[in-house]
Structure 1
Amino acid sequence: MSSARRHILIALDMHSATDAGLSTLVSIARRLDATLSGLYIEDSQLMSAAGLPFSTEINYLSAEERILDPEELLRINRLASAQARHLLEELSARDKLECTFAVESGKVAIQSLSIQGCDVFLPGRSRKSLTRKQVTLQLRQLVLIYENSGIFERMLEVARLLAANGMVSDITIVSETPLPAEITGKLSIEDVRWHFQAVSSTRPEQLRALRLNSASLVLMPKDLLTNLTERQWFELLEQLPFPLLLMD
């Protein structure tokens, strides 16, 4: 077990900076004794598009179309980042966690993955509003995406800590191949139900096929997502209702 203190970067934008996502992240960080960095990303591409004449956006749920106003978009971003900072600092102070917060312009995936030496938490984009208490109590299922590397040992360590603290009771390992004997010998955690799910591919775009809800948390190696195109990133983040913890 590494003696270095764990550090988690939480990557946020106007669509993912929610009470539910931040509360879940702080609950996880407290159990892992981790420090936190909030990074709110203002979408530079969207801001540029808003400055073009006749730019419009289509609402994901209602399919309604409206004109993009750059000043209104900037106001919404500033409000969302201020609310995210306040909530994250409030939750961190309550649990006595070290926390920093920054705002940058760019793309969520590119900015967050470029930072080395930390795990990255991407909140799920749930369409259903949940209270902080409901989210904490409902986070019962943990999914580990298997990759034959030393990162998986760290993922198992996280699984043990969350299970020991009563945060998860079901753990599923998703893998393209049978697990090595040295791994299966380490899957003994009291009061935890283990499951194995064989899949044809563990590529990120296949995550949607897992059919998990917002009460699940998926752990996977960060390097599995480094080669995605911008469009693949957009589709992945928009369609996943559950959070991802990318292990470095």
Structure 2
Amino acid sequence: MDKSEQELAIKRILVALDASTHSLAALEAAASLAANLQAELIGLFVEDENLLHLAGLPFAHEFNSSSAVRQPMSSEKMERQLRLQASQARRALQVAADRVEARWSFRTVRGQVTASVLAAALEADLLAMGRVSRPLSRHSRLGSTAREASTRTRRSVLLMQHGRNLNYPVLVTYDGTPAARQAMETAVKMAQASGDELNVLLLAQTRDAADQLKEDLSARLGQRGLKVQFHWLP
């Protein structure tokens, strides 16, 4: 790997963990990528200060999902629940990382969830998270944190949903920008690890511009031992 490829490589993958199954799906996908990219997994659990504030209000109650019994809520009880969830998240990260022999670290912070995730993402090259944290229906929509993270961060974002897996062959869009070059480097590593071909969608307004992108990429990828299929997407 030359110097430019090293600069574009994904070395640190931040996984935003919570109690949802979507979060665990993001963890599994991140672990798979970490194995392919030889990257470090960084787990983050945010103790939601808004939940703690609400739990401390005198009228706060919770409903038991199995018995539908209403019970009073308190800050102390919420603290215990969050500590338990953080412990479970750390254990899940450890198991996933050990399975693929990836380096890992974990930390818990307290604050607003979106702001905390965005701040932590600045230290990583890729942010992986569930599409939603706690779905209220069977129809999974993009959660507020996932939506904010995908639109406000300058890092690449991987959004996963429970029941979905990373699939091959690898497909990547490319327009020659720095972000596209980083995405291309990640896609190359994934294709090399899986042994599948790499499909590249060239984003260009004209055929000549697409041909130029293809020529530049062909020269860069020629020594990587990949079968590459190019497609022009005007």
Q: What TM-score, normalized by structure 1, do the two folds share?
A: 0.58
Q: Say if 2:17 and 2:24, in contact at 8 Å, map to a contact too.
A: no
Is there any run of 5+ residues in structure 2 with no aligned partner, and where?
139-160
C-alpha spacing 1:171/1:56, structure 2 compared with 1 (3 Å) = farther
Letter of the 1:178 counterpart: Q
**2:217 is the alignment partner of 1:190:** no
Aligned length: 188
Identity of aligned residues (%): 25
Distance verdict in 2 for CA 1:65–1:5, change over 3 Å: same
Of 185-194 and 145-154, more deviation after overlay is shown by 185-194
Higher helix content, 1 or 2: 2
What amino acid sits opposite 2:124 in the alignment?
C
Change (3 A) 1:57 1:168: farther
Q: Counterpart of 1:10 in structure 2: which amino acid?
A: V
1:152 aligns with 2:180: yes
Written as runs of structure 1 = structure 2, the 5 A alignment for 1:25-174 is: 25-55=30-60, 69=73, 70-115=75-120, 116-119=122-125, 120-125=127-132, 130=163, 136=165, 139-140=167-168, 149-166=177-194
In structure 2, C-alpha distance between the alignment counterparts of 1:67 and 1:171, rounded to whole Å = 54
Q: Deviations over 1:60-116 (max 9, x none)?
A: xxxx99667244433332222211111211221222211100011123332222233
CA distance 1:36–1:66, shift in 2 (3 Å):
same
Taking the aligned partners of 1:20 and 1:122, their CA distance within structure 2 comes to: 8
Rate the CA distance shift 1:129–1:37 in 2: closer, same or farther, 3 A. Answer: closer
Structure ID, larger Rg: 2
Are residues 55 and 98 of structure 1, via their aligned partners in 2, closer, same or farther at CA, if it must alter by over 3 Å? Answer: same
| SS of aligned partner of 1:100 | strand
What's the C-alpha RMSD, in Å, of the aligned pairs?
4.1
> Following TM superposition, by how much is the alpha carbon of 1:20 offset from its aligned partner in structure 2, in angstroms?
2.6
Q: Is the 8 A contact 1:29 1:36 kept in 2?
A: yes
CA–CA distance in structure 1, aligned partners of residues 108 and 52 of structure 2: 15
Aligned AA (1:155):
A
Alpha-carbon distance change, 109 to 68 in structure 1, aligned in 2, over 3 angstroms: farther
Q: In the alignment, is the contact (CA less than 8 A) between 2:22 and 2:129 conserved in 1?
A: no
Distance, in Å, in 1 between the alignment partners of 2:232 and 2:193 is 20
In structure 2, distance between residues paired with 1:28 and 1:7:
10
1:139 to 1:150, Cα distance in 2 relative to 1, 3 A = same
Q: Does 1:23 align with 2:60?
A: no
TM-score where L is the length of structure 2? 0.61
